[in-house]
Amino acid sequence: MPSEDAAAALALDRGNALLLVIDVQERLATAMPPAPLARLKKNAEVLIRAARRLAMPVVATEQYPKGLGPTVSSLRELLPADPMTKMEFSCGASRPIAREILGTGRRQAIVVGMEAHVCVFQTVRDLLRGGFSVFVAQDAVISRSDENRAVGLALCEKAGATLTSTEAVLFDLLGVAGTPEFKELTALIK
């Protein structure tokens, strides 16, 4: 039987959570399977809108934008700040990005992006090493192949991340129905 502490570790707290959008970039996107890419974009948009509405920090990154292009326009226009660039695969290995994440004062990270087996996994591993609770929205994480996506998600879970979904994250952050936030944000998933 799971302990009370284990159950508490699964609870998202909007006052302690941030959203990390990893490398959802134009040229990288062209290498992704179309249906999973469309799902990632839709779900990342929902989570960015939710984070902004709930006053949660959003940190977005771009891996080598000269080669992989900018963040896809549909998401870029929703971001509260310009994406931070990196050459490192892990956001945690990039000092400016790590400082930005730590500077939020939040200890829970909701992660979306690409690719699951490279930048997402390595970032998740570093966040966990740094004492963060990490929630990977698996319906907003992709790789070029299903196999690499599955490997990436398995590695994230084995490292200690919680695998979740966009809707599970959204409803956990909301906590209660009937509020203006609830009505506004649940309209995004209908």
Residue 19 falls within a domain, yes or no?
A: yes
In the sheet that holds 84-86, the strands lie side by side as 84-86, 58-63, 17-22, 108-114, 133-142, 162-164
Residue 131: the pLDDT is: 97
Residue 186 falls within a domain, yes or no?
A: no
Residue with tokens 């490192």: 88
Nearest to 169 by CA among 31, 46, 62, 22: 46
pLDDT by 10s per residue, the chain, length 190:
566 777 888 999 999 999 999 999 999 999 999 999 999 999 999 999 999 999 999 999 999 999 999 999 999 999 999 999 999 999 999 999 999 999 999 999 999 999 999 999 999 999 999 999 999 999 999 999 999 999 999 999 999 999 999 999 999 999 999 999 988 998 989 8
Nearest to 57 by CA among 130, 109, 132: 109
Residue 5: the pLDDT is: 78
> 113: domain CATH number?
3.40.50.850
Catalytic site positions: 23, 86, 119
Residue 48: the pLDDT is: 98
Domain that holds residue 113: 14-176
Residue 1: the pLDDT is: 59
Q: What's the whole-model pTM score?
A: 0.96
C-alpha span between 181 and 53 (Å, rounded):
7
Residue 65 falls within a domain, yes or no?
A: yes
Residue 37: the pLDDT is: 98
Residue 95 falls within a domain, yes or no?
A: yes
Residue 4: the pLDDT is: 72
What total number of domains does the chain contain? 1
Residue 169 falls within a domain, yes or no?
A: yes
Residue 31 falls within a domain, yes or no?
A: yes
Residue 9 falls within a domain, yes or no?
A: no
